Amino acid sequence: MVKPLPSYLGRLAPSPTGHLHLGHARTFWLAAERARSAGGALLLRNDDLDALRFRLDFVAAMLEDLRWLGFSWREPVVTQSTRLPRYRAALAALHAAGLIFPCTRTRRDVLEAVSAPHESAATPAPEDEPVYPPQFRPPLDAPLPPLGAVITVNWRFRVPDGEAISFHDARFGPQRAVAGRDFGDFLVWRKDDAPSYQLSCAVDDAELGITEVVRGADLIRSTFRQLLLIRALGHIAPAYYHAPLMLDDRGERLAKRHDALSLRTLRAQGVTPAEIIAPFRTVDPTP
């Protein structure tokens, strides 16, 4: 008997740290089209773990904007702040496997170490964080301190140095990065006792049964990190489709701009959802 294919489950994962703009609309439209053409469904994930920038009114606004544009998703909405025990369990599993270590170095320590002349092997993409200096790692055989009930130190994932991580991107084709060279030990839990984006996203995509992640191409480098976490946690990775970023007429990324092209502003000016989506249709979501 032929096994039925697992049904497609995608996700929209906005962060309630600002208003959604045209770039979000286009990425989410691509996600919705890919789910639709696969006969699948979408989850809506509210990425509300950024305590400093989070605002409750942004949650309401993003739901309203997405509905206004005509998107629909499987209820209930997945809210990351309600899933902290899942992330904590994943952290405990990584700790038990000896794959993480506590890090008391500051950003400045890292920047100073990587700008020192002897550190020329590490060359991450300019917009990515610097490769964590290996000399800052505790030795492999050093006993790991317990996590503790409340975490007050940063914990990082120890990447497998020299290992090539690859995946096939449904939009951009084969992708490859070498751990320890293109990216280094990265944060999984922060000293203010909150999971990092990499950990919460990897846990959710794997545990919620997402079959394909559609998101902006700025996150391709995160995908390598998340693939390592998903593997370390014993899960099967989803497929990935990274959407080309939308640039404004000066070639600047929309995400970097403020309200000029927010969906709310356009709506207040009388622009309709159909007018917003029409230009997206020139992109074939299933190349």
Strand partners, 241: 214
Q: How far is the CB of 167 from ligand GLU (least distance, A)?
A: 14
**What are the two backbone dihedrals, phi and then psi, of residue 247, each rounded to the nearest 5 degrees?**
-110, 155
Q: How far is the CB of 186 from ligand GLU (least distance, A)?
A: 14
* DSSP symbol at 117: T
Smallest gap from residue 71 Cβ to ligand GLU (A): 15
Taking the complex as a whole, how short is the minimal distance between the CB of residue 238 and ligand GLU, in angstroms?
A: 11
The two tokens of residue 138 are 């505790």
Q: Which C-beta is closer to ligand GLU: that of 155 or that of 241?
A: 241
- For the bound state, the minimum distance from the C-beta of residue 14 to ligand GLU, rounded and expressed in Å, comes to 6
Measured from the CB atom, the residue of 47 and 185 that comes closer to ligand GLU is 47
Q: Report the DSSP pairing between strands 41-46 and 9-12.
A: parallel
Distance CA 238, CA 34 (A): 14
Q: Which is nearer to ligand GLU, 122 or 245 (CB)?
A: 245
CA dihedral 110, 114, 115, 116 (to 10 degrees): 110
Q: What is the DSSP code (8-state) at residue 1?
A: -
CB of 161 to ligand GLU, least distance (A): 25
Please tell me the distance from the alpha carbon of residue 114 to that of residue 281, in angstroms, as a whole number.
Answer: 44
Pair 12, 41: CB distance under 8 Å: no
Spatial distance between the Cα atoms of 61 and 54, rounded to a whole number of angstroms:
12
Q: Which parts of this chain interact with ligand GLU (CB under 6 A)?
A: 13-15, 47, 201, 215, 219
Residue number with CB closer to ligand GLU (21 or 215): 215
Q: Which helix (H) or strand (E) holds 10?
A: strand 9-12
Least distance in Å: CB of 199 to ligand GLU?
12
Distance CA 223, CA 215 (A): 10
Q: Which is nearer to ligand GLU, 15 or 211 (CB)?
A: 15
Smaller CB separation from ligand GLU, 158 or 242: 242
Q: Crossing angle, helix 197-207 and helix 84-96, to 10 degrees?
A: 100
For the chain, give the number of residues.
Answer: 287
Closer of 44 and 179 to ligand GLU (Cβ): 44
